[in-house]
Each structure stands twice: as structure tokens, then as C-alpha cells.
Amino acid sequence: MEAFCHALSFSEVVKPYDYYHLATLMAANGSCVMAKEYLKMAIIKGHDQTYIPYDENLPTCLETSGEAWKEFLASAEKEGRNTVISLDFEYLKALHDIRGSDQTIRRLIKIPDETYAQLDSINFYRLKKIIEEKGFPDYQKHGFEDTQVAFLVLLHATRYSEKMYDEVIEIMEMASKTDNIRRSQIAQMKDGRMNNFLKSKQILGTSNNYRAEEFKPIAQPEIVDSLRFEYNLLRLKEQADKENRKLPEGYHVFPYPENYFCGYEFDQ
């Protein structure tokens, strides 16, 4: 927690997700009052509320349901409307329209794979066109940040052609240069494609079964830490300790710089 706060001191702009991440760290640390304040600030500044009730850290401090939760959201949303200086409403509306299309079909049953492929392709190229015109969602430029909408559409697009996958990674690499996408998310995209869709060994060790004792197979465990360093990830050893997993055979520890901060959740 202290490391994350220290890292933010070097940032010119504290984004909505930063406040949300601080809230989860505070909640995990038992600082419920501060967790609530940071969560409120995140919502005021436009953090997507969709997945907040499912965060395993926050419910330890907040009851994310019922009337109290509704009142909390209403208060934060009201303050948010009063503080927004410049909101690109048309951009925000277009993104949520794309998310509606993306998610609606996934609530249906017995949908042919070809239908998924067609719709995911349409949604991806709709999103790509908007990003080319306006840039990736950015709090400073557009009055909101994207935490789920674009990421979900990009994730679903990685399932298909190599061309579309390369276009997804190009968008994410560009967004990471302005801190609108975390490099760890790019790593997850790459491992997800290798593991789930190409049925190959993952590259970076980020795609694993929940609470499993072992990592899913990694292509080059002897150099995986050097690869993870490029994506702002903890060494596999630290991830193994955090998640109670066994290290893969052939793994070698790679020396990270002293006091290296990688943007991961710390317990202290």
C-alpha cells in the first residue's frame, strides 16, 4: 500500500482507477473509512461501477448492496456530475452501446460460434474506428476513463484471426504509453490467447485456474521472469508465494532491480 502511494507521487494525474485501487488496498488493510473515501473519489471521477460489488476486497469494509449502497452511489454520482468539466458524452454513449451489443449476445443460449465471431468482429472494428478518431478513453481528454468496456471488446477480439489479434495488441501498446492500459493487462491478453484459444502453453504465467496449486504450463519457465519484467509483473516466485502455487520445473529466479515497484497489489 505504501509502495503504491509512493508511486502515485510521481504521477502528474491521479486517475479514477488509481483511487479505486487505493480503496481496495485500504479495505484489504482494514482501513474501512479511508477505503470508502477513496472509493467515493473513484466514482466521482468516473470509475466504472459495474464490477465493484464483485471485488473480494471491498465487501470486507462495505456492504455493496441494499439501500445504504444505493445512497452511497447516488451521493458519489451527484458530486461527480458537479465536478465534471468536460465530458465527451457521445464517446461515452458509443462505448456503452458497444458493450451492450457485446454482452447481450452472451446472455443468450445456443448461439453458433460463427455468430459470436461476426458480432465480435463488428464490435471490435467499431471500437477501433472510435479510438482512431478520438484516442483511447482518457480521463484528461474525455472526462472519463475506460476500465472494462474497451478491454472486454479487445479481449473478445483476440479469439480470432492473427491480424485482428495484432491490431488489438497495437491498440493496447499505444494505450499503455499514456497509462490508460496497464502492461499487465497486455500480458493477460497474450497468455489468454495462447492458453484458451490456441491451446498452447502460456508465455508469462498470468492465465491460471483459480486457487489451483500449480501454474498452467509455461513455455519457457527458465526465462519467464525476464519476460514478466517487460510487462510490469512480479517475478513468478512472488506470484507463487502470493497465490500459494508451486513453481514450475525449470524455473530460474531473475534479479529485478532493488526496490522495484511493478504496480501489483502489495499486502503491506
Q: Does residue 187 fall inside a structural domain?
A: no
Q: Does residue 24 fall inside a structural domain?
A: yes
Range of the domain at 9: 2-83
Residues 145, 173: one domain?
yes
Q: Does residue 240 fall inside a structural domain?
A: yes
Q: Does residue 34 fall inside a structural domain?
A: yes
Considering the chain, what is the average pLDDT of its residues? Answer: 86
* Mean pLDDT along residues 64-73: 80
Residues 78, 94: one domain?
no
Taking only the tens place, the pLDDT of each residue in 191-231 is: 999 998 999 999 999 999 988 999 999 999 999 999 999 99
Residues contacting 208, CB < 8 A, separation 6+: 215, 216, 243, 245
Query: Residue 141: is its pLDDT beyond 70?
Result: yes
Domain end marker among 146, 181, 216: 181
Q: Does residue 192 fall inside a structural domain?
A: no
pLDDT category at 266 given cuts 50, 70, 90 is very low
Q: For residues 185 and 146, give the distance between their C-alpha atoms in angstroms, rounded to a whole number.
A: 13
Residues contacting 214, CB < 8 A, separation 6+: 245, 246, 248
Q: How many CB atoms lie within 10 A of CB 222?
A: 13
Question: What is the number of domains present in the chain?
Answer: 3
Higher pLDDT, 179 or 216: 216
Domain end marker among 66, 83, 100: 83
Domain end marker among 49, 83, 117: 83
Q: Does residue 186 fall inside a structural domain?
A: no
Which pLDDT score, from 0 to 100, does residue 268 have?
39
Q: Does residue 45 fall inside a structural domain?
A: yes
Q: Does residue 194 fall inside a structural domain?
A: no
Residues 64, 39: one domain?
yes
